[in-house]
């Protein structure tokens, strides 16, 4: 008890207090953290809303040439996202260059040939360099396919056959995914982005507290205080991590609060993130925030100047996310226990699970977090040693 009070009122607490005041009063760093933390949830939510809205509202414009030869065609093609304009004549290339996504040309004599079972051609003009072309073709295929099926059914029935004869089997698709798991596709990038947020949100602070302090010549004064080096690194790590963690928490909260606005249900996705899941995500990010902070501080202390540190850390923040993406894409089986102990990989896996409402065994969480914290401790020790390097001090 006494020892705790001693620590809380003693030199170490003063050091910590100094580091936090410095970190949180850095407006520029704070803005950077807040902006990035809000940016990606906003983009994710906005993107998905836009995507669904676009999908629901997307209309393809079809120019139907020669529809006088087949009025039924014109009538049955309308609807289902296809807007049909029957034109007496026109140049397909010009029409495609204009407002139309596709052009269907019904040849003269089409109906005659159809009545004679001649399988007359329908000419579909597309512009495969246009982004709307595949969608328009899909729309047309849907409408045309339905009409074709109807004609075939009538023809077969007329010959005394059951239309089932044309379908020797039915393919019944059974999707084993659950609505919550289906969210994994959409939310796949969220763990990486949350981890990226840790890096970005703590970047400015870590550079400022290490390379910045050195460049402002205040580091020497600090090191002259009767405090062990590991405490100096620890205090800086905590201050930097507090910024990164706050950023990641902000992003997480923003994301979860934006989820109800996202049209997840329309995409068949269940919003399964639970409150305890969010709390767990917040907690599991803390050891990682510490690790990111201390690694950033170590690198920044090593670098020659403030600018140099910024450059190095900017590269550093991209590297882990790329690494995670590569691991994801390479289909490495990451479910094994030892992967759970690897910092970043473990946290990414847990975030992934928790986002879709699954739980992560507490033992795994604790073991993985302990492994990360162990690395933090090692890094702090390395940092303490780095503080004794001559090169760290400003030139005489």
Partner 1 sequence: MAGTRKIIAGLAVLVASLWLRTDALGQAAGAETCYLDGWRNPLRCYRLPIESEPEAPQLAVMVAPAVNNSGEEPLYLLAGGPGQAASDLAPLLNAFEPVNRERDIVMVDRRGAGRSGAFRCGIEDQRSLDLDAFARKLADCYLDRAEFAESLSSRQTVEDLEMVRSRLGHERIALWGGSWGTRTALLYQQWHPQSVSELVLDAVAPIDTKVFLTARAAEDALQALQRDCANDPACARLGNWRAQLDALLESWDQGGRPVLSDPLTGQPLTEPMARWEFANAIRTVLYDPRAAAQLPFAITEAHSGNLQPLVGLSGLFVKSTESMSMGLTFSVACAEELNRISADEIAADSDGTFLGTAFLDLFQHGCRGWPVKEKPYAAPEPRAQPVLLISGEADPITPPRYADEALGYLADKQHLVVASGGHINSPRGCIPELIARFLAQPAEELDSTCTREISRPPFMVASYGPDIGGTAGNPVKEPGTGGRHDSGEEAGE
Partner 2 sequence: MIEVNSISKAFAGRPVLRELDFRVPDGRITALLGANGAGKTSCLRIIGGLLRADSGTVRVGGIDVARDPLAVQRQLGVVGDREGLYERLTVEEYLTLFARMQGLAGAALRESLEYVRRELELEPLWRRRTRGFSQGERMKVSLARALVHRPQHLILDEPTRGLDVLAARLLRRTLLRLRDAGTTILFSSHVMSEVLELSDSVLVMARGCIVGSGTPQALIREAGCSNLEDAFVALAYGDRQAGEVPA
Residues that bind partner 2 (CB under 8 A): 9-11, 13-15, 17-18, 21-22, 25-26, 216-221, 223-228, 388, 390, 393-394, 396
Measured between its terminal Cα atoms, the distance across the chain in Å is: 44
Q: Interaction with partner 1 in 270-289: which residues (CB under 8 A)?
A: 270-271, 274, 276-277, 279-280, 283
Running DSSP on this structure, what letter comes out for residue 166? G
Q: How far is the C-alpha of 357 from the C-alpha of 355, rounded, in Å?
A: 5
Candidate ranges 132-140, 163-171, 329-337, 341-349; the one touching partner 1 (CB under 8 A):
163-171
Tokens of residue 275, six digits? 């409150």
Q: Which of 46, 134, 145, 163 binds partner 1 (CB under 8 A)?
A: 163
Is residue 156 near partner 1 by the rule CB under 8 A?
Answer: yes
Smallest separation (angstroms) from partner 2 to the CB of 236: 13
Closest to 149 measured CA to CA, from 163, 165, 135: 163
Smallest separation (angstroms) from partner 2 to the CB of 221: 5
- The label of the residue with tokens 């303490």 reads 384
Decide whether 49 or 223 has the Cβ nearer to partner 2.
Answer: 223
Is residue 79 near partner 1 by the rule CB under 8 A?
Answer: yes
Decide whether 58 or 220 has the Cβ nearer to partner 1.
Answer: 58
The 3-state secondary structure of 188-245, one letter per residue: CHHHHHHHHHHHHHHHHHHHHHHHHHHHCCCHHHHHCCCCCHHHHHHHHHHHHHHHHH
Smallest separation (angstroms) from partner 1 to the CB of 310: 36
Q: Which of 15, 186, 256, 264 binds partner 1 (CB under 8 A)?
A: 264
Decide whether 198 or 235 has the Cβ nearer to partner 2.
Answer: 235
Closest to 117 measured CA to CA, from 167, 155, 72, 143: 155
Letters for 207-226 (x = contact with partner 1 by CB under 8 A, - = none) are --------------------
Smallest separation (angstroms) from partner 1 to the CB of 105: 5
Is residue 99 near partner 1 by the rule CB under 8 A?
Answer: no
Decide whether 88 or 391 has the Cβ nearer to partner 2.
Answer: 391
Is residue 13 near partner 1 by the rule CB under 8 A?
Answer: no
What does 14 interact with, of partner 1, partner 2, none (CB < 5 to 8 A by kind)? partner 2
What does 338 interact with, of partner 2, partner 1, none (CB < 5 to 8 A by kind)? none
Q: Interaction with partner 1 in 56-75: which residues (CB under 8 A)?
A: 65-66, 68-73
Q: CB neighbours (10 Å) of residue 142?
A: 14
Angle formed at CA 40 by CA 262 and CA 315, multiple of 5 degrees: 155
Running DSSP on this structure, what letter comes out for residue 335? -
Helix (H) or strand (E) holding 26: none
Task: Kindly tell me the burial class for residue 188, based on how many C-beta atoms sit within 10 Å of its own C-beta (0-12, 13-18, 19 or more).
Answer: middle
Closest to 80 measured CA to CA, from 36, 145, 128: 145
Strands 122-125 and 102-106: antiparallel
Question: How distant is the alpha carbon of residue 291 from its chain centre?
Answer: 22
CA distances from 320 to 298, 313, 339 (A): 16, 11, 15
Q: Interaction with partner 1 in 361-380: which residues (CB under 8 A)?
A: 362
Number of residues this chain uses to bind partner 1 (CB under 8 A) = 75
Phi-psi sector, 357: left (phi>0), alpha (psi -120 to 50), beta = left
Is residue 108 near partner 1 by the rule CB under 8 A?
Answer: yes
Decide whether 121 or 228 has the Cβ nearer to partner 1.
Answer: 121
Smallest separation (angstroms) from partner 2 to the CB of 286: 25
Question: How distant is the alpha carbon of residue 76 from its chain centre?
Answer: 41
Smallest separation (angstroms) from partner 2 to the CB of 28: 11
Decide whether 145 or 304 has the Cβ nearer to partner 2.
Answer: 304
What does 178 interact with, of partner 2, partner 1, none (CB < 5 to 8 A by kind)? partner 1
């Amino acid at each position: 008890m006494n020892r705790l009070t001693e620590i809380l009122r003693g030199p170490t607490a003063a050091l910590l207090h100094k580091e936090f005041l410095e970190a949180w009063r850095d407006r520029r760093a704070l803005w950077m953290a807040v902006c990035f933390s809000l940016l990606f949830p906003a983009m994710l939510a906005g993107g998905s809303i836009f995507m669904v809205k676009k999908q629901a509202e997307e209309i393809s414009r079809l120019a139907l040439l020669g529809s006088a030869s087949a009025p039924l065609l014109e009538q049955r093609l309308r609807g289902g996202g296809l807007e049909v304009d029957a034109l007496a004549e026109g140049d397909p290339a010009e029409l495609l260059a204009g407002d139309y996504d596709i052009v269907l040309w019904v040849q003269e004599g089409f109906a005659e040939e159809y009545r004679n079972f001649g399988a007359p051609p329908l000419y579909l003009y597309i512009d495969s360099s246009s982004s709307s072309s595949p969608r328009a073709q899909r729309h047309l295929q849907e409408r045309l396919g339905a009409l074709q099926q109807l004609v075939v059914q009538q023809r077969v029935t007329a010959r005394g056959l059951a239309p089932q004869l044309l379908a020797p089997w039915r393919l019944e698709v059974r999707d084993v995914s659950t609505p919550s798991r289906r969210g994994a596709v959409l939310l796949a990038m969220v763990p990486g982005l949350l981890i990226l947020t840790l890096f970005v949100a703590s970047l400015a602070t870590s550079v400022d507290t290490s390379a910045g302090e050195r460049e402002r010549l205040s580091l020497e004064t600090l090191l002259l205080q009767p405090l062990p080096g590991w405490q100096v690194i620890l205090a800086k790590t905590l201050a930097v991590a507090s910024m990164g963690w706050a950023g990641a928490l902000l992003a997480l909260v923003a994301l979860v609060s934006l989820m109800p606005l996202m049209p997840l249900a329309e995409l068949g996705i269940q919003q399964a993130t639970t409150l305890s899941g969010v709390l767990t995500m917040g907690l599991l990010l803390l050891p990682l925030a510490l690790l990111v902070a201390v690694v950033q501080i170590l690198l920044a202390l090593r670098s020659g100047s403030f600018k140099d540190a910024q450059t190095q850390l900017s590269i550093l923040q991209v590297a882990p996310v790329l690494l995670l993406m590569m691991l994801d894409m390479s289909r490495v089986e990451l479910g094994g226990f030892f992967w759970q102990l690897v910092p970043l990989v473990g946290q990414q896996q847990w975030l992934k699970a928790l986002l879709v409402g699954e739980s992560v065994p507490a033992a795994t969480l604790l073991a993985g977090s302990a492994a990360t914290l162990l690395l933090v401790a090692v890094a702090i020790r390395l940092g303490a040693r780095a503080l004794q390097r001559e090169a760290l001090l400003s030139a005489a």
